[in-house]
């Protein structure tokens, strides 16, 4: 009961401690002035056990006995009237300080767990790094993004509404098809939900808020090399495959057709290009799938248009079917009942 009062910080202790002293003084005053403490003289039945003492007479019950009960009521009422406002005054601060203490413990524990589970790919200081490619036949490493700016990267996008929940889902379920394994016990991972929450607390505690500006491609192209193909290889091939047939992400051979394009129709071509442009700028996040990041932070608008031009050049009508992305409508259904799905 006394702990909340002792827990008050030194700078703010004067007021609550003063109120506590006043409450105790008020109780003592009521006790000795109008309560049992005012009674003088020898105690009756002092040497008789309690169980054998005669009970109060009717006269005593209706006079001094009732007065004592009322006096105790006054004393306790005075104490409660001062103590309860005091408790109400300091309790929110005590709770907040307890929450802060638990948070600091979580951050410290999460830092150690991050170093054990994540630092080898995402960097000791969350600066990003790389992981072995999930395809053993591919020597190129798989880029692992920086995590010290994940809030800034997703705060203005509709792909992720709650960054903390996004991190939690990624840790629990992993990203199928990528080196990012599932760390949650729900998917046979090694960490409990509480441990994952501690990792998240640490990650969110070291956010820099700095997102590097997109840089135009400055590498040298080999003779006859296409910039669009280079951009695709550097940014897209690891998920959509070097031959555009898909992997972690869907195949792209007829992605324009899936968004309404038909050969010779310029209007439908611009519509399909606009959809692909929106995906590249904002990314996509589908339940149960590895999220596609937004590329507007890593590619300039000019490079994105060059990449779209390259994708346009590899489109085939009637290409392989693929799961739709983000709920966008697929191609119109064929009204011919004799038509068969590929």
Residues 61 and 131 both lie in one domain: no
Q: Is 231 part of any domain?
A: yes
Q: Are residues 246 and 277 in the same domain?
A: yes
Could you read off the pLDDT tens digit of each residue along the chain, which spans 342 residues?
A: 444 444 444 445 566 677 678 777 777 776 676 555 555 555 566 677 777 877 777 887 788 778 878 878 887 888 888 888 888 888 888 899 999 999 999 999 999 999 999 999 999 999 999 999 888 887 888 889 899 999 988 887 777 888 999 899 899 998 888 899 999 998 899 999 999 999 999 999 999 888 777 667 666 777 778 899 989 988 898 888 889 988 888 889 988 888 888 887 788 889 999 999 988 988 887 666 667 888 887 888 999 999 999 998 988 877 666 444 444 444 444 444 443 333
For residue 332, is it within any domain? no
- Give me the pLDDT at residue 306, please: 92
Interhelix angle 193-205/64-117, rounded to 10 degrees, is: 80
Separation between Cα atoms, residue 55 and residue 236, nearest integer Å: 93
Measured in whole angstroms, the distance separating CA 317 from the mean position of its chain's CA atoms is 42
The answer to whether residue 74 sits within a structural domain is yes
The encoded tokens of residue 245 equal 């047939």
Give the pLDDT score at 191: 95
Does 244 lie in the same domain as 181?
no
Whole-number pLDDT of residue 328: 45
Query: Which pLDDT does position 167 carry in this prediction?
Result: 93
Q: What is the 3-state secondary structure (H, E, C) of the chain?
A: CCHHHHCCCHHHCHHHHHHHHHHHHHHHHHHHHCCHHHCCCCCCCCCCCHHHCCCCCHHHHHCHHHHHHHHHHHHHHHHHHHHHHHHHHHHHHHHHHHHHHHHHHHHHHHHHHHHHHCHHHHCCCCCCEEECCCCCCCCCCEEECCCCCHHHHHCCCCCCCCHHHHHHHHHHHCCCCCCCCCCEHHHCCCECHHHHHHHHHHHHHCCCCCCCCCCCCCCCCCCCCCHHHHHHHHHCHHHHCCCCCCCCCCCCCCHHHHCCCCCCCHHHHHHHHHHHHHHHHHCECCCCCCCECCCCCCCCHHHHHHHHHHHHHCCCCCCCCCCCCCCCCCCCCCCCCCCCCC
Domain of residue 240, CATH code: 1.10.760.10
Are 269 and 198 part of one and the same domain? no
Are 16 and 8 contacting, i.e. CB atoms less than 8 angstroms apart? yes
Residue 180 lies in a domain: yes
| Same domain (yes/no): 139, 193 | yes
Residue 35 maps to a domain: yes
Provide the domain limits for residue 155. Answer: 120-205
Domain tally, the chain: 3
Whether residue 95 sits in one domain with residue 124: no
* 85 and 158 both lie in a single domain: no
In a domain, 47, yes or no: no
Alpha-carbon distance values, 247 to 40, 102, 236, 320 (Å): 94, 42, 11, 13
Query: 133 and 95 share a domain?
Result: no
Sequence-distant (≥ 6) Cβ neighbours of residue 316 within 8 angstroms: 253, 254, 257
CB atoms within 10 A of CB 299: 22
pLDDT in tens, 200-247: 999 999 998 887 776 676 667 777 788 999 899 888 988 888 899 888
Do the domain assignments include residue 111?
A: no
Question: Do 133 and 186 fall within a single domain?
Answer: yes
Q: Is residue 169 part of a domain?
A: yes
CA distances from 246 to 140, 238, 276, 319 (A): 18, 9, 16, 12
Dihedral sign for Cα atoms in the order 230, 235, 241, 244: negative
Residues 30 and 88 in one domain: yes
């Amino acid at each position: 009961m006394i702990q909340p009062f002792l827990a008050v910080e030194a700078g703010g202790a004067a007021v609550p401690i003063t109120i506590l002293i006043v409450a105790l003084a008020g109780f003592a005053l009521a006790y000795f002035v109008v309560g049992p403490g005012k009674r003088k003289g020898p105690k009756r039945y002092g040497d008789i056990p309690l169980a054998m003492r005669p009970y109060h007479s009717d006269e005593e019950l209706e006079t001094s006995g009732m007065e004592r009960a009322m006096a105790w009521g006054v004393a306790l009422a005075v104490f409660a009237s001062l103590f309860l406002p005091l408790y109400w005054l300091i309790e929110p601060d005590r709770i907040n300080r307890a929450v802060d203490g638990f948070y600091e413990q979580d951050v410290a524990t999460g830092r150690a767990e991050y170093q054990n589970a994540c630092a080898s790919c995402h960097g000791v200081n969350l600066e990003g790094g790389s992981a072995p490619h999930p395809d053993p036949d591919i020597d190129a490493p798989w880029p692992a993004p920086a995590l010290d700016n994940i809030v800034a990267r997703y705060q203005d996008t509709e792909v992720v509404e709650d960054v903390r929940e996004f991190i939690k889902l990624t840790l629990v379920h992993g990203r199928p098809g990528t080196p990012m394994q599932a760390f949650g016990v729900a998917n046979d991972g090694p960490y409990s939900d509480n441990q994952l929450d501690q990792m998240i607390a640490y990650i969110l505690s070291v956010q820099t808020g700095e997102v590097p500006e997109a840089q135009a491609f400055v590498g040298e192209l080999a003779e006859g090399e296409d910039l669009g193909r280079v951009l695709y290889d550097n940014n897209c091939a690891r998920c959509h495959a070097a031959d555009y047939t898909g992997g972690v992400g869907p195949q792209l051979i007829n992605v324009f057709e899936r968004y309404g394009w038909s050969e010779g129709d310029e209007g439908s071509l611009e519509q399909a290009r606009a959809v692909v442009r929106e995906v590249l700028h904002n990314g996509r996040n589908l339940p149960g799938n590895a999220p596609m990041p937004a590329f507007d932070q890593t590619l300039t608008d000019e490079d994105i248009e060059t990449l779209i031009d390259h994708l346009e050049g590899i489109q085939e009508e009637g290409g392989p079917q693929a799961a739709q992305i983000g709920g966008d409508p697929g191609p119109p259904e064929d009204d011919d009942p004799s038509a068969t799905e590929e």
